[in-house]
Structure 1
């Protein structure tokens, strides 16, 4: 059996894959070898900007009844950049070649989702912004010459905050009785987390966070003032022992199959590391006498401060819904303060809404661009259907 060998493409795409926002343009050039185009019967060259949405959920590999797939085109725009024998746009020719510039503008009347990619052997959830170059030969279907994706972030849904320290504060509290040894109530810890009362937490914005933590020992019968008797629960002496991470949860559906996934939790503050963005003020233990004046208990307080910072590695919240597929991204701020003993760590989960941090007329500093995750082409498949 003989296989027909396709001729080499007569065109090539020149395009920079940097971050795009609604305020930017999609601009590049296409090189066309006219002699080769004529000799291989290429009569049209087209360029397309597309936004595609793709999901896959597989509950059992190899069973098509347990695997769902969906693909939708959220937006696309196609331009013809060359037709035989003359290009349709201004260009400069030499030695049988031509360079044709192209430009796309993001639509004003449509809210496009951010680029996104989550991929495992059983789950694919992808929003792809890309540029695709086509050639059409007479009596042949369109052939894809190049497909280049790029990262995209939409404009933030809220106005920018220039003085976040002046925003009114909101606080969330949590408390827990702690067990030490065989006793169930050998101490207690209470924590209050305070941060600016923002509707959303934007990417690329430093947000101050403080923790006010107070611990209490179990009651002691005698009027002890010996601080050495206070051994539990002692507060962390350093912010390096505290964890403050962002949890990103996705709910995805492909056809009739639906599941959840979690993106790796990332440390988003100076806690957990020896870092200049965190500080700790821990008081000496204080004796609190009982009302009868006979016994009492020890108490200790601490204030830990840091700055919450979300880079482009954290996707903003968004939701896409079609009959064939669905994807939503939500976030929680996860706090963990360690205490000795099994199950004694204090944990707190705070729902957050994360926004893009992209504002019209305010350019993003170059240093933030280095942490943008790579773009993935639409056809780089994830889950397996073996």
Structure 2
């Protein structure tokens, strides 16, 4: 896969737009059209690599709104590439090529962004090519590229991912919820049973198997007086008829700190190919159980009273492509899975919330061979097997970039 090019005037950046792992050596190259650079009054060319954590909280003081900021610099490196008169292209071409490489620090939090009214936070990584131009009123040429970064997975985290990828054969853990749902004055029980692999945490962007069972019981009645379901009218409370009737939402709660102030941001994301996805119902395997008559204590036959018990089982996998759970000095976040089973009536929904800790799932790749931009084939041109998948909550441009002054 070839590198992606970005251009500003005589300067072109070639850099592969993929998710990177902390500790990885990244490569690319910059092309400079010297003939165009002379006409553009370009004097110097350099590249910067930067990583920051930034939090922002706006507080209302009387009639004035004051913005408070807190920034942690993770790294900031500048490398010179070219200055006027220092190098010239080969005869027959106007192009100079400047390969570059940079090794990310080994301990980095994942790229991340969240925002709400009066508060926001970002963990952002970037490279920026800066071409300074002569003249007081001339702005510099700039090419900025965000870099998606995830922490490197430990050996135990890689083993957990491999175990899930091969098909889970380990122990399971069950989480249960029992609630009464009411129709008028009658209370009828509904149950939710969630079964998950018995792991303390789960790798991102990896298929995790889930089993979700919804079981309901009617109010006490005589079986001879009430069939289980009449055409067009099911006995209350009826379990969901299909997977799209149940909602599964990933909730993320972030805590933003600009000492001594603290605010929270909550976001919710649907999970494709799971419960509630009307476009991919077939991705969920469902089994409807036959209704079961449960006599009341002391009753022995259909002439006595009892309840109808009904249940539906869903089996599916979910892959969560969001930043791993993380905690820093001024920003942290965690996730919760919300299962919502709707029933008629106000306040009757059955809601099961399960905290889920997400881990990185990719090892740091070995150093590349050769220099990007040379004739040797390198990592910048051919990706290693199984590159980390892109995350969906990257910082939006240009939110991440914090002004540093005109010098760049």
- Relative to 1, partners in 2 of residues 1:92 and 1:203: Cα closer, same or farther, differing over 3 Å? farther
Equivalent residue for 2:97? 99
Equivalent residue for 2:3? none
SS at match of 1:85: coil
Among candidates 369, 372, 385, match of residue 363 of structure 1: 385
How far apart are residue 156 of structure 1 and its match? 2.8
How far apart are residue 124 of structure 1 and its match? 2.4
Find the aligned partners of 2:128 and 2:398 in 1 and give their Cα distance. 10
Find the aligned partners of 2:77 and 2:385 in 1 and give their Cα distance. 26
Q: Does 1:205 align with 2:206?
A: yes
Among candidates 105, 111, 115, match of residue 111 of structure 2: 115
How far apart are residue 164 of structure 1 and its match? 3.6
Find the aligned partners of 1:217 and 1:41 in 2 and give their Cα distance. 79
Out of 271-280 and 30-39, give the one that drifted further: 30-39
Among candidates 383, 397, 406, match of residue 376 of structure 1: 397
Find the aligned partners of 2:91 and 2:123 in 1 and give their Cα distance. 37
C-alpha contact 1:68 1:254 (8 A) present in aligned 2: yes
Q: Does 1:334 align with 2:338?
A: yes
Equivalent residue for 2:287? 281
Among candidates 311, 315, 336, match of residue 305 of structure 1: 315
Please, what TM-score do these two structures have when normalized by structure 2? 0.76
Q: Does 1:125 align with 2:117?
A: no
Find the aligned partners of 1:354 and 1:336 in 2 and give their Cα distance. 21
How far apart are residue 49 of structure 1 and its match? 0.9
- Relative to 1, partners in 2 of residues 1:163 and 1:374: Cα closer, same or farther, differing over 3 Å? same
Equivalent residue for 2:13? 14
Find the aligned partners of 1:39 and 1:240 in 2 and give their Cα distance. 58
Structure 2: 5+ residue stretches without partners: 1-7, 366-383, 403-408
How far apart are residue 343 of structure 1 and its match? 0.9
Among candidates 242, 253, 258, match of residue 246 of structure 2: 242
Structure 1: 5+ residue stretches without partners: 1-8, 382-386
- Relative to 1, partners in 2 of residues 1:192 and 1:91: Cα closer, same or farther, differing over 3 Å? farther
How far apart are residue 167 of structure 1 and its match? 2.8
C-alpha contact 1:270 1:276 (8 A) present in aligned 2: no
TM-superposition CA deviations, 1:291-316 (whole Å, max 9, x none): 221322221122111111223xx222
Find the aligned partners of 1:154 and 1:329 in 2 and give their Cα distance. 15
SS at match of 2:168: helix
Q: Does 1:75 align with 2:60?
A: no
Q: Does 1:145 align with 2:142?
A: yes
C-alpha contact 1:27 1:103 (8 A) present in aligned 2: yes
Find the aligned partners of 1:86 and 1:62 in 2 and give their Cα distance. 57
- Relative to 1, partners in 2 of residues 1:233 and 1:95: Cα closer, same or farther, differing over 3 Å? closer
How far apart are residue 201 of structure 1 and its match? 2.3
SS at match of 1:165: coil
Write the mapping of 1:148-187 to structure 2, written as runs, cut at 5 A.
Answer: 148-157=145-154, 158-159=157-158, 160-161=161-162, 162-181=165-184, 183=185, 185-187=186-188
Among candidates 212, 229, 236, match of residue 232 of structure 1: 236
TM-superposition CA deviations, 1:83-115 (whole Å, max 9, x none): 45325xx975766652222121223xx311222
Find the aligned partners of 2:398 and 2:333 in 1 and give their Cα distance. 20
Equivalent residue for 1:47? 47
SS at match of 1:240: helix
Equivalent residue for 1:3? none
Find the aligned partners of 1:145 and 1:238 in 2 and give their Cα distance. 53
SS at match of 2:221: coil
Aligned length: 359
- Relative to 1, partners in 2 of residues 1:97 and 1:223: Cα closer, same or farther, differing over 3 Å? closer
Find the aligned partners of 1:151 and 1:328 in 2 and give their Cα distance. 18
C-alpha contact 1:204 1:309 (8 A) present in aligned 2: yes
Q: Does 1:25 align with 2:47?
A: no
How far apart are residue 151 of structure 1 and its match? 2.0
- Relative to 1, partners in 2 of residues 1:270 and 1:93: Cα closer, same or farther, differing over 3 Å? farther
How far apart are residue 334 of structure 1 and its match? 0.6
TM-superposition CA deviations, 1:192-228 (whole Å, max 9, x none): 1001123322222111111122211222368656435
Q: Aligned-residue CA RMSD in angstroms?
A: 3.5
Out of 342-351 and 158-167, give the one that drifted further: 158-167
C-alpha contact 1:69 1:255 (8 A) present in aligned 2: no
SS at match of 2:144: strand
Equivalent residue for 2:381? none
